[in-house]
Amino acid sequence: MRDWITETAEEMPIEHLPEALQTLAQSIGMETTLRVIEHLGGMSMYFPKLEHLVRPIRDNNIRKEFTGSNYRALARKYNLTETRMRDIIHKRTRP
**Is pLDDT above 70 for 95?**
no
> What is the rounded average pLDDT of the residues 58-71?
96
Amino acid present at 39:
H
| H helical segments located in 1-95 | 4-11, 19-28, 30-40, 50-65, 71-78, 82-89
pLDDT recorded at residue 40: 95
pLDDT (tens digit, 9 = 90+) per residue, 12-60? 999 999 999 999 999 999 999 999 999 999 999 898 999 999 999 999 9
6 phi, psi to nearest 5 deg: -60, -45
SS3 of residue 15 by DSSP = helix
| Contact indicator for 74, 88 with CB cutoff of 8 Å | no
**Is pLDDT above 80 for 1?**
no
> What is the rounded average pLDDT of the residues 66-84?
97
pTM of the model: 0.64
